[in-house]
Structure 1
Amino acid sequence: MDADLVRTVAKSPFLSLLSPADLRRLVGYGAVVRFNAGDVLFAAGDGADRFHVLLEGSVGLCAPEASDAANDSVVLDLLSPGDVAGDEAVFDRGAHGVTARALLPSRTLAVAAGPFLEHLDERFEVALALLAGASARLRGMIHEITELKLRCTTRRLANFLLGLAGERRDGRVRLPLPCGKNQLAERLGMQPESLSRAFAKLRPHGVMARADDVLVDDLGALRRFCRADLDS
């Protein structure tokens, strides 16, 4: 078994509480699959026979009514490496409620549902660990909904960029965008022209948007800009 693959999967927030032995078994139930940009991992209505751990690239979860429009799908969520797609349908043994589409060339670990669910039947503590991971993800979704409801478009974008920066706190960074600008606007709940205006308003704060990435002169300054919104 590829030890590097096990270590990579262990970094997933959803799976990080699993023991090394359980992680190795989970990886053993899966296969690494590569997707080109635009490829569908699964479509809304498909039976959930596997879930995907994203290893590299970017995946959009798209609204069912837009599942046949490769270039115009409404992106409900953006997944980055470490995120999991399709697990909720596997757990309830139902069908996928959204379409998952690769937005960039991507690589996933596709975990077969059958042996994975049998593993859960054998090891209740694994189910508890996954439940803890799901709870953390739910808290993150509540935070994102709060962002969409209460923050202006400029600070919504700024917080998204800080999320792309991960654990980096200060300094100058280049942040590759996980999708096109139109899809990013959909994910942030705004029109493309509103996204352009938000980038323009962040320019005095050291943020420069380019075709496929964003340059941030000082992450610390961008964090202070966002904190000022909370303190106002």
Structure 2
Amino acid sequence: MITEPYIHRVVHQHHLFSNLAENELSRLMSNAALINLKAHENLFFQGEPAKRFYLLLHGNLQLYRTNPQGQDKVIDVVREGHTFAEALMFNKQSMYPVSAQTVSECQLISFDCEKYLNMLKQNTEACLAVMANMSMRLRKNINEVEVLSLQNAQSRLLLFLMHHMKPTAENQGQVYLDIPKRVLASRLSIQPETFSRLIKKMTNNELIEESGHDIIIKDVRKLYASVNVPFDPLVSADSNNKQSIPIINM
């Protein structure tokens, strides 16, 4: 049971809960649990019963699948303020299709799926808000499939840099990597050695510089030209797009 007022406020601001009445939110929070995990701890594993969904308050967390050969593939990176695993309760999927592991220290709230579903059945506005969110995720999923299937590794890395770039000057920008490079490489379906080779190539060609967790883009147009992708100022100016795009509904 979570009683801290500030956590109630944070939860109520999220679109999945913003249309719940105070008494509904209180009932939901009475069955919620606050979870604190260290870096590299697993929250759940692929194939376990999916009875709860989560809101990430602090930190970064990766969702990954393990293939029959024992290799892991990062499906999504969840950042603070985002929920995950809520879609499973709508298609009555009983098992988690992925595993969840923290990238850094994390604090999460765990919600009971059955309790939340019962509230939605009695609250039309909350139900519509959830439907709108699922529609947005579906569009993002389609874009993700197109990128992963139609673009090569170099183009996928370029698109990531452009979508996460913060402009610093005319035709220049900066990207802050808040997750390890190995996680990012897996997320972009790029082999770690290929990812390192691409970063080194861009650095040697004086397209980027690395400074700690920052990647400095020295010439945006030249970077686009290096992989024969048409320059799109609308994409390169999207400095507020810090969200990852999920490839599956979690």
With structure 1 as the length reference, what TM-score do the two structures score?
0.77
Distance change (3 Å), C-alpha of 1:43 and 1:177: same
Q: For residues 84 and 152 of structure 2, what CA distance do their matches in structure 1 show?
A: 29
SS in 1 for 2:194: helix
Does the CA-based 8 Å contact 1:208-1:214 persist in structure 2? yes
Q: Find the counterpart in structure 2 of residue 79 from structure 1.
A: 78
Q: Following the alignment from structure 1 to structure 2, what is the Cα–Cα distance between the partners of residues 162 and 11?
A: 29
SS in 2 for 1:59: strand
Distance (whole Å) between structure 2 residues aligned to residue 65 and residue 158 of structure 1: 27
Q: Percent identity?
A: 24
**Per the alignment, in what secondary structure is the counterpart of residue 229 of structure 2?**
helix
Measure, in 2, the Cα distance between the counterparts of 1:90 and 1:43.
Answer: 17
In the other structure, the counterpart of 1:41 is 43
CA distance in 2, matches of 1:209, 1:11: 35
Unmatched 5+ residue regions in structure 1? none
**Inter-CA distance 38–112: structure 2 relative to 1 (3 Å threshold):** same
**1:102 corresponds to:** 102
Q: Distance in 2 between matches of 1:8 and 1:57?
A: 15
CA contact (8 A) 2:207 2:222 kept: no
Q: 2:229 maps to which residue?
A: 229
Partner of 2:90: 91
Does residue 111 of the first structure (1) align with residue 111 of the second (2)? yes
Contact 1:66–1:73, Cα closer than 8 Å, also in 2: no
Matched ranges for 1:88-167 at <5 A: 88-93=87-92, 94-165=94-165
What's the TM-score, normalizing by structure 2? 0.72
Q: Kindly state the Cα deviation for residue 157 of structure 1 after the two structures are TM-superposed.
A: 1.7
| Higher Cα Rg, which structure | 2
Aligned CA RMSD, in angstroms, stands at: 3.3
Question: Once the 2 structures are TM-superposed, how far is the Cα of residue 17 of structure 1 from its aligned partner?
Answer: 8.1
**C-alpha distance after superposition, 1:106-151 (max 9, x if no partner):** 1111112232111111113212211111111121222222222233
List gaps (5 residues or longer) in structure 2.
233-250
Which of 27, 31, 34 does residue 32 from structure 1 map onto? 34
Q: What is the deviation of 1:6? A: 4.5
Compare the two structures and name the one with the higher helix fraction.
Answer: 1
